[in-house]
Amino acid sequence: MKKILATLGAAVFALLPLTACGGDSDGTVTLKVNEVTHSVFYAPMYLADSLGYFEEEGISIELTNGGGADAVMAAVLSGDADIGFCGPEAAIYVQLGGSNDLPTVFGQLTKRDGSFLVGREPEPDFKWENLKGKEILAGRKGGVPAMTFEYILREHGFTDADINLNFDVAFNLMTGAFEAGTADYCTMFEPVASEYQAAGKGYIVASVGEAGGEVPYTSYIAKRSWLDGNDEIAKGFLRAVMRGIEYAQTQDATKVAENLVSHFPSTSVESLATSVTSYRNIDAWVTDMAMTEASFERLQDIISGAGELDRRADFGALVDNSYAAEVYAALKA
Residues 32-87: tens digit of each pLDDT:
999 998 999 999 999 999 999 999 999 999 999 998 888 999 999 999 999 999 99
Fold agreement (2-112+216-332, 116-212): yes
pLDDT band with cut points at 50, 70 and 90 for residue 116: very high
CATH 2.40.30.10: does it fit domain 116-212? no
pLDDT at 315: 95
C-alpha dihedral sign at 273, 278, 282, 286: negative
Q: Residue ranges of the domains in the chain?
A: 2-112+216-332, 116-212
User: Which residue intervals of 171-321 are DSSP H helices?
Assistant: 174-179, 192-198, 208-212, 224-229, 231-250, 253-258, 269-281, 293-305, 315-318
Q: What is the pLDDT of residues 220-252, one digit of tens each?
A: 999 999 999 999 999 999 999 999 999 999 999
Read off the pLDDT band of 286 (50, 70, 90): very high
Pick the CATH number of 2-112+216-332 from 3.30.565.10, 3.40.190.10, 2.30.40.10, 3.20.20.140: 3.40.190.10
* 263, HSE (Cβ side, Cα atoms, 13 Å): 27
CA distance 142 to 113: 15
Percentage above 70 pLDDT, the chain? 92
Of the given ranges (1-15, 107-121, 171-185), which has the lowest mean pLDDT? 1-15
pTM of the model: 0.88
Q: What is the average pLDDT score of the chain?
A: 90
234 and 326 in contact (C-beta within 8 Å)? no
- Per residue in 165-215, pLDDT (tens digit) is 999 998 788 999 999 999 999 999 999 999 999 999 999 999 999 999 999
